[in-house]
Amino acid sequence: MKKILILSFLLLASCSFEKIVLHHGVHNLEEKQSKLKINYTNKNDIIRLIGPPSTKSTFDNDIYIYIERKTSGSKLTKFGKKKLVKNDVLVLELDSMGLLLSKKFYNKNDMNNINFDNNETGINYSKKSFIYNFLSSVRQKIDDPLGKKRIKN
């Protein structure tokens, strides 16, 4: 009887009734992005305020992408499936001098409204093209490096 009582006490003591929230990325991204001013804030101010970007891209201008994501464990009836609480993305475009040109903030609701193109890219070569002939010859050399088909016994 004492063993059952102690075992049940240990099981109940290890349970937590507080919601567990897993946080990835920059904390309080929405508040921090509101402090950024276009054509006034520079690269050093951004890094000091928000930190290094999650993703950095350089095309014509520098693009910094910051991400904040919060997930929470759901109820026992959902078998521990994670529930998305917060999903924020901040895209900053900087000019060559390091000044902030534009900022775009997307939250979880904005992510649902993004439309993706369903078109597929077609094959750009035909059987008579140079690329097809070249790749065919490479494949033949890989399959038969000595130039003679091996006879299977």
Specify if 143 maps to a domain.
Answer: no
Domain interval for residue 69:
18-112
Specify if 48 maps to a domain.
Answer: yes
Strand partners, 92: 64, 103
Specify if 47 maps to a domain.
Answer: yes
pTM (2 d.p.) = 0.61
pLDDT at 133 over 80: no
Residue 92 confidence class, pLDDT cut points 50, 70, 90: very high
Specify if 139 maps to a domain.
Answer: no
Specify the DSSP element, H or E, that contains 94: strand 82-94
Q: pLDDT tens digits for 68-85?
A: 988 887 665 566 677 888
Specify if 3 maps to a domain.
Answer: no
| Number of compact structural domains in the chain | 1
CA distance 64 to 93: 6
Specify if 9 maps to a domain.
Answer: no
87-106 average pLDDT score: 90
How is residue 12 written in tokens?
Answer: 């109940």
Kindly report the CA angle at 30 between 44 and 38, in degrees rounded to 5?
45
Specify if 104 maps to a domain.
Answer: yes
Specify if 64 maps to a domain.
Answer: yes
